[in-house]
Amino acid sequence: MILIWQIGRKARYVAMSLIVMLGVLMLPDQARSDEKAEQAGEFIKALGAQAVSALTEPDITYEMRADRFKGLLSDHFAINTIGQWVLGRHWKKAISRLISI
């Protein structure tokens, strides 16, 4: 392992400059991640409110509730992509079995 005092003076300045630059470049990512976390929280709140209002109406049947739930699920989530990610390398095998049914 090369110790910091064993390298030349210019190399130390270059190394320290690179470390500082990496730190500065990482700051905007933190700000963006905070913004994305806030957007995700707003999405969950809005979806929760929409689900509660759509699924708790007293005058609808079970079938209507199920249809509304399926609509919310398909409108707001990429079910096929999630399934492909979960199944991984088994995705093609599962799809071929579904097609043959």
Distance of CA 101 to the CA centre of its chain: 33
Q: Model-level pTM greater than 0.75? A: no
Crossing angle of helices 62-76/9-55, nearest 10°?
Answer: 160
Q: Residues of the chain with pLDDT > 70: what percent?
A: 66
Residues belonging to the chain: 101
- Phi and psi torsions of 8, nearest 5°: -70, 165
Question: pLDDT band at 91, cuts 50/70/90?
Answer: confident
Distance CA 29, CA 45 (A): 24
Q: What is the mean pLDDT of residues 50-64?
A: 89
Q: How many other CB atoms are found less than 10 A from the CB of residue 85? A: 10
The pLDDT value recorded for residue 45 is: 92
